[in-house]
């Protein structure tokens, strides 16, 4: 084997190692951007709307979507280049983070819908109560 080939192999091995580190680093950053369990569970407010708004804020995923994108980009590049000896663990981690991120984003959307609906419901119920009180006063 010529010296140039050996150097190319060494460079490829080094690049593959760095690529794996980039994927792992991006996955760690994505996980770190996800909300803490306690922040989602423990909210303090005096009314339902306050709880919903606090929960929606707690469900903020920060830069997790971008970090996951970076992890998937480098993983795809490394996999196509056959740079990873074992990529199953990375694929599993990416899938787990992606599913969790999707679940959090779905929950955030549902909380947002509730935060929009609850005030409307409250107003409708108050109006109904006022009308019932007015009818009772007339009778």
Give the pLDDT confidence of 53-100 residue by residue, as tens digits.
Answer: 999 999 999 999 999 999 999 999 999 988 888 899 999 999 999 999
Q: What domain count does the chain have? A: 1
Which tens digits make up the pLDDT trace of 26-61?
Answer: 999 999 999 999 999 998 888 999 999 999 999 999
Q: Which domain holds residue 109?
A: 3-138
DSSP of the chain:
--HHHHHHHHHHHHHHHHHHHHHHHHHHHHHHHSPPHHHHH----SSHHHHHHHHHHHT--TTHHHHHHHHHHHHHHHHHTT--S--HHHHHHHHHHHHHHHHHHHHHHHHHHHHHHHHHHHHHHHHHHHHHHHHHHH-
């Amino acid at each position: 084997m010529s010296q140039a080939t050996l150097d190319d192999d060494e460079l490829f091995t080094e690049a593959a190692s760095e690529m794996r580190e980039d994927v792992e680093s991006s996955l760690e950053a994505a996980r770190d951007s996800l909300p803490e369990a306690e922040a989602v569970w423990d909210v303090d407010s005096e009314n339902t709307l306050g709880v919903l708004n606090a929960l929606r804020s707690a469900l903020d995923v920060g830069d997790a979507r971008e970090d996951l994108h970076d992890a998937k980009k480098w993983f795809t590049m490394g996999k196509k280049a056959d740079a990873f000896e074992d990529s199953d663990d990375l694929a599993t981690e990416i899938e787990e983070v992606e599913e969790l991120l999707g679940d959090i984003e779905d929950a955030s959307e549902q909380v947002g819908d509730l935060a929009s609906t609850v005030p409307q419901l409250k107003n409708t119920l108050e109006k109904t109560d006022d009308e019932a009180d007015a009818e009772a006063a007339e009778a």
